[in-house]
Amino acid sequence: MVSCCEVDSSIRSYSAMKNNESYSKMRRIGGMRTAVAPGVVAMLTVVLFASCRMQELAYMKDAPRDSAVAFEAQFSKGIQANDLLNIYVESETPEATIRFNQETNKIAVSDGTVLNNSAASREVPGYLVSADGDIIFPVLGKIRVLGLTHDSLAHMLQRRLVEEGHIKDPVVTVKLMNFKVSVLGEVAKPGQLMVQGERLTILEALSMVGDLTIYGMRNNVTVLREENGQRVLGNVDLTSRELTNSPYYYLHQNDVIIVEPNEKRKRSGDRDNTWMSYVSMAITSVSTVVMMIYYATLTNRYRQ
């Protein structure tokens, strides 16, 4: 038979064991909470840092979405000195246009026009605007074109061809052949851009060179422009909603875009630190995986 003393002793031992188990669970829970707290803080820090970086890289971040804004900037300042113009005259009577199209590589035949395939004719020099703003047009002679738009020049030529009795039904097309801008600094592929036409925005130019690097200052882009014989420096904030109202939103002939490096790039003094970004991402990923494994281990211990 089991005595009362033995039963009492067994009960006390069982109670002590349960108390020890509860204490151990509490310690594990406390340890897990202690470990979780720094991990949560670290993860929140990474998320907040990434969010801030995304804000720095965003374009026109303060502009309301689904809204319409009227453009105030002018995309053309008119024909300028050293512009290379292609001027083509058409008519119901192609023979009448031959002498006016000596720069267009076309010859007239009885039933229309055909391309001249000679090697020399494939070179189209166009009409170079002189420093004084003039061109020499066949038959009509010297013509002042400085400051005119392409459409206004075309209308003027059509009017003169009719009034002076050269062609009854002329249709004149004027195009810019050498529109170019340069992009320098913190962009993926710095260089010179040759564009057909005369309408190009700063965002389009930056996209053509692969966009800014993560080290480019988006809120302080410089545009070097020639105006009235002077060089003017303008600043553009790509992150502002006022970007489209800037006089530098539409680029002009021979503009130079300069993207300054941010403070991090200036301190590093290194031309290519892209690999650091990948290393940082790898370290963050490994840290996240290690933390997840550690939390899973603690959870399993608690369940046991």
Is 62 domain-assigned? Answer: no
Q: CA of 284: how far to CAs of 38, 52, 54, 89, 230, in Å?
A: 15, 16, 17, 64, 51
Residue 47: pLDDT above 80?
A: no
Distance CA 268, CA 272 (A): 10
Q: Which amino acid is at 80?
A: Q
Summarised one tens digit per residue, pLDDT across range 131-169 is 899 999 999 999 999 999 999 999 999 999 999 999 999
- What integer is the mean pLDDT of 86-96? 91
Q: Which range is most confident: 40-44, 51-55, 251-255, 274-278? A: 251-255
Is 167 domain-assigned? Answer: yes
Beta-carbon-side half-sphere exposure of residue 289 (alpha carbons within 13 Å):
6
Share of the chain above pLDDT 70, in %: 63
Is 78 domain-assigned? Answer: no
Residues 130 and 195 both lie in one domain: no
Q: Are 163 and 177 in contact (CB under 8 A)?
A: no
Residues 120 and 152 both lie in one domain: yes
- Of the three residues 135, 160, 176, the one that is the final residue of a domain is 176
Number of domains, the chain: 3
Is 150 domain-assigned? Answer: yes
Residues 141 and 167 both lie in one domain: yes
* pTM, rounded to two decimals: 0.59
Residues 142 and 188 both lie in one domain: no
End-to-end, the C-alpha distance of the chain in Å comes to: 36
Mean pLDDT of the chain: 76
- What integer is the mean pLDDT of 208-228? 91
Residues 142 and 95 both lie in one domain: yes
Residues 164 and 191 both lie in one domain: no
Is 72 domain-assigned? Answer: no
Q: CA of 249: how far to CAs of 11, 60, 65, 170, 191, in Å?
A: 86, 13, 19, 35, 19
Residue 190: pLDDT above 80?
A: yes
Is 76 domain-assigned? Answer: no
User: What CATH number does the domain containing 192 carry?
Assistant: 3.10.560.10
Residue 52: pLDDT above 70?
A: no
Residues 49 and 27 both lie in one domain: yes
Summarised one tens digit per residue, pLDDT across range 17-37 is 445 555 455 455 455 444 444
